[in-house]
Structure 1
Amino acid sequence: MTPPPAIVFDPGVPDGTVLWRGDLRTNFRGSGAYACPVGYFAMGYKGTTRYLGDNLYETEVPGVAYRFKMSGTPPSIPCLADKYFPDGCISTFPAGFYNHTLHVELIKTGPITAGGVLTGKFAYWYGGQGSNVIGDYASYTWSGGGVVVQPILPTCKVSTSSIAVPLKDVSAHIFTGIGKTSSGQSFNITLLCSGGTTGPDTNIYVTLTDQTDPGNFSDTLRLTNDSTASGIGIQVLFGTTVIKYGPDSSAAGNKNQWKAGSYGQGTFHIPLTARYIQTAPAVKGGTANGRATFTMSYQ
C-alpha cells in the first residue's frame, strides 16, 4: 500500500473518530494464482499487531488504531463481503483468485501526545484445507518508508538555555560518611509551549548529561576539572527522585531519559533540586562546581 506523504490531523477530536482512510486495490488474478480445486477452504483475516477489540488493532502510535474492511467481486465469496477484521469464512476458491479492495482506517482510541511512522506488514490472510495450513495466504504491507502520522500538537522551546544554580557555601564538617548530602537548592527549567489545538498535550522528556564525564551514567555529577574540593559530587532531584545522567540525545528511550510531565499551551516549569553528596571517606574543602546539559525530547 502506497502511503500519503503524511497523515496530519487534530488530536483533540473525540475517541472513535476516523483520522484517515485509504483504499488498497489488489491484483491477484493471473496464471499461478492460488486456488482450492476440490471442496471448501477455511480462510481468516486479521491484523498483525495486538488486537484491541471492537475490530481495532494497535499501531506504533499510542492513541491511534487500525481498522480494516474488505470489498470486492464477486459478492458470492463471503470473505469479500464488507467484513471488518478479524473474521473468516469457509468457501470455495476457484482458480484465478479474485481482486478485492482493502479499506484501511486509522481510528483515535485515546490521548495522542506524539506522532510516529507506520511501517511494514500490517494485515494478512491465513487458512487451510484439512491438514494443509497456509499461515500467510496474502499480506498487506506499507511500501517505502511507511506512512508518517503527524498530529497537530503544541511545540515547546526552552525559555533560558543556560541556568546557574548557586549551591552556596557548605561546611566540609557536615560530610560525615559516604552518601551524606547537603541541603538542596531549588531551580527550574522553564519551557514556553504554543501551537497545536486547544486541549491536546505533548509528553516532555529530559536527559541530563555530565559535561565533565559524558560517559557517566550514575546519579552523581562529577566535579569540574578546575574544582579544588574533592570527595563530593552533585546530585539533581526531580521531586524525591535522584536523576541519573545519560547520553546527550533527544531520541525516544535514550538511556536515563525521564518524563517531566505533559503540557499543552503556555509556560511549563520543571522543578529540580541540586545538592552535594559525599562520594569518598574523606572530603577536602575548596571550590566544588559541576556542569551538566539538559536535552529535551517531545514525544
Structure 2
Amino acid sequence: MLLAVILGISTSAEAMVTCKASTAYPAETLIPNINTTSYAGNDLPLGSTIYDSHVNGSGMTGVSCDASFNLKAEMVVSDMPSGAPTLMSTSAYGTVYVYPTNVSGVGVIPWGNDKRFSGTPAEYGVFSVGSAGDNGQTLLIDISLIKTGPIASGATVNASSFPHLSWDIPNTSGYTGLPVHLASISYTGTIQFITRTCTTSDVNVSMGTHEIADKFTGVGSTTDWVDSSIILQDCPSFSGYHSLDSAQSVTGNNTASGGNVTATTFSVSLQPTNSVTDDIVGLDPGTDAATGVGIQLGYSTDTDADATMPQTLWTSGTTWDVTAPSDGRSTVKIPLAARYIQNASHATPGKANAKVIFNIDYK
C-alpha cells in the first residue's frame, strides 16, 4: 500500500508601510537672515548668551504614507563651516558642545525644545497619522551665540559660519521609502559686537572747609553732600544685546527682528585705601590730620539722578548696578556723593583727606 502524505506549507510576511516626501507639505530650505549690532560688555562672564533668535519654518513640511504611521524625525548638524565644537560650561544650557564661528570669542549653539544639536542625530519631532495620508509640522528651533572668550570691539560674526542643520525622518523598521528629508537650515547676514569701554579719569573732590563748632556737634552730625560722581567719557552706544530672555525671531528666509534688548549694566564697587569702620571711610593719617570725623558715601542707580540726593548709603563690600543709558550719549555720569560725618564724641580740626578706588565692570 502506498500512503501519500501531502504537507501544506504556508508563509506570511508582515506588510510594509510605504512612505515618501509629502507633496502637500514639501521639504524646506531655510536660510534666515541675522543682521544686527549689539553691545556685549567685556565683563560678561564666559558662557553668557549674547544673542538668540527663534527660527520658524515658513510652512509645514512632512511625510506621506500609504497606511497609518508613527515616525520619529531627527535633527543633525550636517556641516561645520568653522570647525568642530568644544565642550564648555554655559550660563543657560549647562555644559554643552559649542561650535566656533568666524570670530574668536563667539561660539554658537543650535538647539530646540531643550535639545542641543550636534553631529549625533537627536530625536526631534514625531509624525503620526492613524490612517494613510500626509502629516506635516512647522519647524521651530533656536540659534544662540555664546561668549567663549574676549571679543574684539567691532568684530563682525558672519552667520554663514554657523553650523548647518538637516531635519530628516531616518530609515525605520517596518517602512519603505525612507529616509525622507524635511528641511535644511543654514544662515546668512552679520552680527557686529561692540565691546569697548568708556574712558575714566581720577575724580578730585573738594569737600570744602568747615568749622568744627558749626558742623560737628555730636556723633552722627554731617556736612552737606558733595557731588563726587564718576564721569565716563568717550562711551560707545550701549545698544544692549538679545539674550535668551529677549530673543529676536524670524520666519522662513526673512530677517530676524523684534525682541526687547537686555540692557548693558555698569557693576560698580568702591575700595577705600584707608580703614573702614561702621561703613565710614577713615582719613589719611598724619600729625596734622583731623580726628573724630570720617567720610560717608552715598550713591544712586539712575544715571540722571541728582548725585547730592543719594538713594542709598554706601556700605563696605557693596557692589551695585547702574543701567547704562541707551540714547547714544558719549558721556555718562555714575552718581556718587560724599560728606564728612562725626564718628567720635570729640572732633579736632586738621586735614581731612581720603582716597577711594572705584571699579566698573561692563555687563
Normalised TM-score (structure 1): 0.49
